[in-house]
Amino acid sequence: MAQLDGTLNALETTLEADTLASLNEIFPPPAPNGPKPAPEAYAW
């Protein structure tokens, strides 16, 4: 139960638009919003 309680705080975390944009550059979303369909979008 302690693990669940600890992870519930993540639901209250908000990220600014520039941070989200940086994450999308590092980890682009799969198609149709990104350039590649899944699972190719996540293949290294």
Residue 38 falls inside a structural domain: yes
Residue 40 falls inside a structural domain: yes
Confidence (pLDDT) at 19: 96
> DSSP secondary-structure letter at 30?
P
Residue 10 falls inside a structural domain: no
Q: Alpha-carbon distance 41 to 28, whole Å?
A: 7
Residue 26 falls inside a structural domain: yes
Residue 6 falls inside a structural domain: no
| Domains of the chain: total | 1
Q: Are 28 and 35 in contact (CB under 8 A)?
A: yes
Residue 23 falls inside a structural domain: yes
Q: Is the whole model's pTM more than 0.85, yes or no?
A: no
Q: Are 42 and 30 in contact (CB under 8 A)?
A: yes
Query: For the segment 1-44, what is each residue's pLDDT rounded down to a tens digit?
Result: 888 888 998 899 999 999 999 998 888 777 777 777 777 766 76
Residue 21's domain comprises: 15-44
